[in-house]
Amino acid sequence: MENKQRSLLFKLVMCQGIGNLGRLNYLQYALKTNTIEFCVEEIIKIAEITTYKKIFLDSWYYWSKHEKILKFYEQNCSFFTILDSIYPQLLKEIYNPPALLFYKGDLQLLHRKKLAMVGARQMTIYGKQVIEQFVPSLINEGFTIVSGLAKGVDSYVHQMAINCQGKTIAVIGNGLDYFYPKDSEWLQKKLEKDQLILSEYPADSGPKKFHFPARNRIIAGLTLGTCVIEAKKQSGSLITAQAAMEYGREVFAIPDSIFHSNSIGCHALIQDGAKCTVSVQDILEELVIY
């Protein structure tokens, strides 16, 4: 990827008022026309920026005025783009794949076979027991476990993978230098040192509500399948599972008591075609070709 094109893509990620689809439109046009440099009005047209045009222009001119600061950020953070060879093929195949991802940790984990494990923030003893039973076996089978570093199931999945001397990837809905949830700061620091953390957002970005559904598409897109462990009726884990279904990936749901609110989401997934999963073998037999 040309350095100028890479720098322009980085600038577009740092700008407000343009989304990932707009950045992908820019990349597609740049490659098609073999053009590297564009004026801001051309970018607005190519990226189809309408509603947030003023916000984008203000942001663009701000970074144009502070190019030295922007260049410092570009040179002092780690990221890869959809045009780089390290970019995972599975993620590239989804609708709206991230044009650029920031990272800390071991990028080689991107090319291991991966399974997403997500679930309720209010994890019960049952959910904890499922994780303690499933994760060690999956690690032994060579899976890297992907989750979202959220409170509850997600964080415990990461911890269990580490405890088993396995590998795990966290995809977060905030910047890599922002710790959320705050009580998971120690875990995030450990993951960035020994495992891998990915984010679509600049380093100091705080979490916003719309970041998390976007984050969930990446979790589903990176992996061969998604296993949901406890999910309420409106759980964000269901967004991850739905994305996995749309991408043609396997979806596994752990059943529980019909009287527990944490089982409603999993049972709904099973009714929608997810595999009712009561053992690790249920997962392995669906992913055996990998």
pLDDT in tens, 169-189: 999 999 999 999 999 999 999
> Of all residues in the chain, what percent carry a pLDDT higher than 90?
94
pLDDT at 289: 63
Domain coordinates of the chain in residue numbers?
Answer: 3-76, 105-284
List, in sequence order, every beta strand (DSSP E) within 222-265.
225-229, 250-253
pLDDT at residue 260 in the model: 94
- Mean pLDDT value of segment 100-120: 98
| CATH architecture group of domain 105-284 | 3-Layer(aba) Sandwich (3.40)
Q: What pLDDT band is residue 278 in, cutting at 50, 70 and 90?
A: very high
Across the range 142-166, mean pLDDT stands at 98
List, for residues 37-75, the tens digit of each pLDDT value: 899 999 999 999 999 999 999 999 999 999 999 999 999
**Against a cut of 0.85, is the pTM above it?**
yes
Cβ atoms of residues 238 and 228 within 8 Å: yes
Helix, strand, or coil here: 164? coil
Per-residue tokens: 36: 């590297």
Q: Is the pLDDT of residue 89 over 70?
A: yes
CA-based torsion, 201, 205, 209, 212: positive or negative? positive
Give the β-pairing of 114-119 and 144-147.
parallel
Q: What is the tens place of the pLDDT at every residue in 214-270?
A: 999 999 999 999 999 999 999 999 999 999 999 999 999 999 999 999 999 999 999
Q: How far is CA 182 from CA 21, 201, 237, in A?
A: 30, 18, 20
Residue 4 pLDDT class (50, 70, 90 cuts) = confident
